[in-house]
Amino acid sequence: MARTNSTMLPLGTKLPKFELQIVPDTGLSDPSLDRGITSFSSEVIPHKPLLLMFICAHCPFVKHVESELTNLDVDFGDQIKILAIASNSLESHPQDGPEFLAKQAKASGWSFPYLLDLDQSLAKSLKAACTPDFFLFSPLKDGGQRLCYRGQLDDSRPGNTVPVTGQDLRSALNAVLSGKLPSQDQKPSIGCNIKWKRGYEPSWVV
């Protein structure tokens, strides 16, 4: 496990196009998945704020905040679009395979889709670096989305005494839902490094 910080992608970055596989048996309460759809595309994102969460099943940093991700789903799931993204290489980390992601989602009661970034293209496009890593986008008039928050959930980490509250991300979400931009004083997330495929390490990985 390499303790890694977010790269802090520039604010204002537009959401790239993507189409990712849906982890079977997750996101079952999502109306877009009621017809046996097995993939999710950026083309069908509704005109509302979008939260991308790069997470996985085995990471202790993710396990530390799982209950707060459930709380965010309950508190904001009807106002924003939430997508969980799993980008770890399954060659080196089969413990983050679909069956383990589905077990994690069911145990946590998540209603948002869990998506497999098997070729790691979305993680690379957004310079995602760790799990968890959070990216909040706000909708544009042209139908696109722009990045308005990236970084940590809050100051809590495994082993410190700070309670998990989601304070930083919640503040950003409330700002966007009020028609405002979040404060630009944003702290990077810290977690396990994304497990890149051999020979596929992005240029920002040291």
* For residue 33, pLDDT beyond 70: no
Positive or negative, the Cα torsion across 44, 38, 66, 125?
negative
Q: Is the peptide bond before 132 cis (omega within 30 degrees of 0)?
A: yes
Beta bridge partners of 4: 191
Q: What's the pLDDT band for 206 if we cut at 50, 70, 90?
A: low
Phi and psi, residue 111, nearest 5°:
-105, -10
pLDDT of residue 36: 60
| Rounded Cα distance, 34 and 135, in Å | 26
Q: Which residue has the higher pLDDT, 206 or 85?
A: 85
What digits encode the pLDDT tens for the residues 104-119? Answer: 999 999 999 999 999 9
| Cα radius of gyration rounded to whole Å, the chain | 16
Residues in contact with 132: Cβ distance below 8 Å, sequence separation at least 6, in sequence order: 53, 54, 55, 59, 61, 62, 65, 153, 189, 191
Query: Is the confidence at residue 205, as pLDDT, over 70?
Result: no
Using 50, 70 and 90 to split pLDDT, how confident is the model at 24?
confident
Q: What is the pLDDT of residue 28?
A: 64
pLDDT of residue 25: 81
For residue 5, the SS3 value is strand
Q: Is the pLDDT of residue 123 over 80?
A: yes
- Residue-wise pLDDT tens digits, 178-204: 999 999 999 999 999 999 998 877 876
Between CA 42 and CA 125 the distance in angstroms is: 13
Q: What is the mean pLDDT of residues 19-32?
A: 79
Q: What predicted TM-score, i.e. pTM, was given to this entire model? A: 0.95
Q: What domains sit in the chain, N to C, each tagged with a CATH number?
A: 3-193 (3.40.30.10)
Enumerate residues 6+ apart whose C-beta is below 8 A from 37: 22
